[in-house]
Amino acid sequence: NSSDDTTLIINDPYANWRCNDDSAGTLNPMIEISDAPAGQYDIWVGSYSSGEYIGGTLYITEFELDPSDY
């Protein structure tokens, strides 16, 4: 649904928190990590509105990706 508003939180191997809500003029979050270090990444995907369940797809890639394409 185009009105669903999701959020994205990533904790990287150095314990840095990265958060995003809206990207590229959409309600889809996106986080880019240049030269991403090896290690464990903890990832949370949520909804902007409390208690709202939103189905979706998480894309992880080393290629260019524009969230407005999805």
Tell me the whole-structure pTM to 2 decimals: 0.82
User: Which pLDDT score, from 0 to 100, does residue 67 have?
Assistant: 66
One-letter identity of residue 9: I
Q: Which two tokens stand for residue 41?
A: 């990444």
pLDDT of residue 56: 87
What does the pLDDT profile of the chain (70 residues) look like in tens digits?
778 999 999 999 999 999 999 998 889 999 999 889 999 999 999 999 998 999 888 988 888 777 666 6
| Token code pair at residue 5 | 């508003």
44: closest CA among 8, 6, 16, 5? 8
Task: Write down the residue that tokens 């996106």 correspond to.
Answer: 30
